[in-house]
Amino acid sequence: MIAFEPFEERHRVAVIDIFNYYIRNTNYAFRREEVAYSHFEKYLENAKELCGYAVRDDVSSAVLGFCQLKPYAQLNTFDQTVETTYFLEPQSTRKGIGTQILTRLLEDAHKFQKRQMIASISGDNYPSIQFHKKQGFYECGRFHRVGNKFGKDFDIVYMQREL
């Protein structure tokens, strides 16, 4: 079982370490350079408006990942739309945790009276694209070759789910 703990200072190192893993090793996190632990402040700030969680293993208490909802844009014309972000430690993928995370975020989006959820995904992240399709998302846009990391161009896929 997993537990969702609202972001707190004690999650800073684990959350940033997970994010930096994806920065270093994949184009799933779009940045080229690792972020400092101070980057966690952005997660805390977003969580004040909506939600952000460290995802912990109930037994070991280890942080397995993190997730959050954030405003799609800072304009009130988009206030019924949220963007989701979540990352899991590599050894925690494909174990049903992502489904539990998305279920929690969907519940929160309903609680906040949101109508649309957006996910932006690297075009190379086929497992995430397929996962989102299975969870009721559809591809609503694709920017071709807009990213470049590790000397390779990649697409950004936008997926959407009506709530």
Condensed to tens digits (0 to 9), the pLDDT of residues 18-75 reads: 999 999 999 999 999 999 999 999 999 989 989 999 999 999 999 999 999 999 988 9
Residues 78, 146: Cα–Cα separation, whole Å: 24
**Domain limits at 12?**
2-118
The answer to whether residue 36 is domain-embedded is: yes
Q: What is the CATH number of the domain that holds 79?
A: 3.40.630.30
Q: Whole-angstrom Cα distance, residue 112 to residue 80? A: 9
Structural tokens at position 5: 């703990």
In a domain, 153, yes or no: no
Q: How many domains does the chain have?
A: 1
pTM: 0.95
Interacting residues of 118 by C-beta distance below 8 A, sequence separation 6+:
72, 81, 82, 83, 84, 140, 158, 159, 160
